[in-house]
A and B are shown apart, each in its own frame.
Chain A
Amino acid sequence: MRGEQGAAGARVLQFTNCRILRGGKLLREDLWVRGGRILDPEKLFFEERRVADERRDCGGRILAPGFIDVQINGGFGVDFSQATEDVGSGVALVARRILSHGVTSFCPTLVTSPPEVYHKVVPQIPVKSGGPHGAGVLGLHLEGPFISREKRGAHPEAHLRSFEADAFQDLLATYGPLDNVRIVTLAPELGRSHEVIRALTARGICVSLVADLRAAEDAVWSGATFITHLFNAMLPFHHRDPGIVGLLTSDRLPAGRCIFYGMIADGTHTNPAALRIAHRAHPQGLVLVTDAIPALGLGNGRHTLGQQEVEVDGLTAYVAGERPDPLGPRSQPACQVAHDPPRACPLCSQGTKTLSGSIAPMDVCVRHFLQATGCSMESALEAASLHPAQLLGLEKSKGTLDFGADADFVVLDDSLHVQATYISGELVWQADAARQ
Chain B
Amino acid sequence: MKLIILEHYSQASEWAAKYIRNRIIQFNPGPEKYFTLGLPTGLPRDHPESYHSFMWNNFFKHIDIHPENAHILDGNAVDLQAECDAFEEKIKAAGGIELFVGGIGPDGHIAFNEPGSSLVSRTRVKTLAMDTILANARFFDGELTKVPTMALTVGVGTVMDAREVMILITGAHKAFALYKAIEEGVNHMWTVSAFQQHPRTVFVCDEDATLELKVKTVKYFKGLMLVHNKLVDPLYSIKEKETEKSQSSKKPYSD
Contacts and interface: CB of A to CB of B under 8 A. Distances in A.
A1 to B, nearest CB: 25
A50 interface: yes
B61 A49 contact: no
Contact of A46 (B57, B64, B66, B67): B67
Contacts of A30: 61
Q: Tell which of A30, A45, A49 has the most Cβ of chain B within 10 Å.
A: A45
A401 to B, nearest CB: 16
A225 B45 CA distance: 41
A115 B34 CA distance: 74
Contacts of B45: 46
Contacts of A48: 67
B66 to A, nearest CB: 6
B124 interface: no
Contact of A51 (B52, B57, B67): B67
B53 interface: yes
A51 B66 contact: yes
B240 interface: no
Contacts of A45: 56, 60-61, 67, 70
A41 B66 contact: no
Contacts of B67: 44-46, 48-51
Q: Chain A contact residues (Cβ within 8 angstroms of B): what range?
A: 10 to 19
B56 A46 contact: yes
A42 interface: yes
B141 interface: no
A49 B68 contact: yes
Q: Chain B contact residues (Cβ within 8 angstroms of A): what range?
A: 10 to 19
Interface in B76-123: none
B58 to A, nearest CB: 12
Contact of B52 (A41, A42, A50): A42
A42 B53 contact: yes
Nearest to B52: A46
B62 to A, nearest CB: 10
Interface string A29-58: 010000000000110111011110000000
B104 to A, nearest CB: 27
Contacts of A46: 45, 52, 56, 67, 70, 72
A30 B56 CA distance: 13
Contacts of B61: 30, 41-42, 45
A41 B72 CA distance: 17
Contacts of A41: 56, 61
A48 B52 CA distance: 14
Contacts of B68: 49
A48 B66 CA distance: 11
Interface in A122-150: none
A44 B60 CA distance: 12
Interface string A95-108: 00000000000000
9 contacts: A42-B53, A42-B61, A44-B67, A45-B67, A46-B52, A46-B67, A46-B70, A49-B68, A51-B67
Interface of A: 30, 41-42, 44-46, 48-51
Interface of B: 45, 52-53, 56-57, 60-61, 64, 66-68, 70, 72
Given A41-B56, A42-B52, A51-B66, 16 more contacts: A41-B61, A42-B53, A42-B57, A42-B61, A44-B67, A45-B56, A45-B60, A45-B61, A45-B67, A46-B45, A46-B52, A46-B70, A46-B72, A48-B67, A50-B67, A51-B64
